[in-house]
Amino acid sequence: LSPDPRWAMRPAPESLAEARDAWLRGQYTQMQRLIDEARQDDPHVPEAWILEARSAFERNQTDWIFSTVNDGLKHHPRHPDLLGLRAY
């Protein structure tokens, strides 16, 4: 019995690691560009949605938080981190 490929662990795109570094440095414009790159590389990577929502939370952009989390949940309806962000 082979595992379901939808749940296989894939490495996050390299641009997502760079986006996280940009976020930690407070370079939000660069972070957003790199997140968009990561979504182009792999549109099904949940970490892109999570990072974007957390950065919006940090900047108190509530509309952007809800929009990002809901868009992420369309792609990953049972992802625990996205569900947690929506509940918060």
Question: Percent of the chain having pLDDT more than 70?
Answer: 85
Q: For the whole prediction, is pTM greater than 0.85?
A: no
Coil, strand or helix: which one is 63?
helix
Question: Percent of the chain having pLDDT more than 90?
Answer: 53
pLDDT in tens, 66-80: 999 999 999 899 999
Q: What distance lies between CA 22 and its chain's CA centroid?
A: 14
DSSP state, 12? P
Number of neighbouring beta carbons within 10 Å of residue 64:
15
State the Cα–Cα distance between residues 51 and 2, nearest whole angstrom.
Answer: 31
**Among the listed residues 42, 35, 25, the one whose alpha carbon sits nearest the alpha carbon of residue 68:** 35
Q: Give residue for tokens 């379901």.
A: 4
DSSP state, 5? G
